[in-house]
Amino acid sequence: MVQKSGRRQSPNILVTGTPGTGKTAMSTALAEATQLRHINIGDLVKKNNLHDGWDDELDSYIIDEDLVCDELEDVMEEGGNIVDYHGCDFFPERWFDCVVVLQTDNTILYDRLSKRGYKDSKLSNNVECEIFQVLLEEAKESYAEDKVVAMESNNIEDISRNVATLTDWIRNWASPPQS
């Protein structure tokens, strides 16, 4: 629900990062702590057929970014959402009050993706994205820099600390948290 001033009553947060950095785990925990709505874009794409088919090489759906944005428009205007996705450059900037980029140590990330059964090419591509901080740069290019915050996500203690930091920020919603 939007206040008369035009500002949403609750913020929208984008949680992004390379696959395997803990986006869904942290988003789920944050949603439970704050009662904000968790929207996992991968699940939304599958459930509502917001894709253009399957990419065998990448072993994933080819999402239709326009359909995803159309699907989310109303709920994003209401506020109170935690959006969880490994990309961030196609969402309208106006949707988000904070953009969290989760980052994971490369050896930890490699182990996580190996356990998921990622093929060698997909595994190395994602680890390289993390090494070169591709998602952090994408976020900084797509959103006002004061909305973007990088957070370490190597273990459960990091997730707990990140949830506590973001929960405090939501309670005092005004500017992005300091990491």
How large is the average pLDDT for residues 154-164?
98
Max distance between CA atoms of the chain, in angstroms, equals 52
Domains and CATH numbers, the chain: 12-38+82-170 (3.40.50.300)
pLDDT at 3 over 90: no
Nearest to 146 by CA among 120, 177, 119: 177
Cα–Cα–Cα angle for 90, 91, 95, rounded to 5 degrees = 165
For residue range 112-158, list pLDDT tens digits in order: 999 999 999 999 999 999 999 999 999 999 999 999 999 999 999 99
Q: According to the annotation, is 147 in a ligand binding site?
A: no
Q: According to the annotation, is 161 in a ligand binding site?
A: no
Q: According to the annotation, is 22 in a ligand binding site?
A: yes
Q: According to the annotation, is 116 in a ligand binding site?
A: yes
DSSP per residue, 120-149: HHHHHHHHHHHHTTHHHHHHHHHS-GGGEE
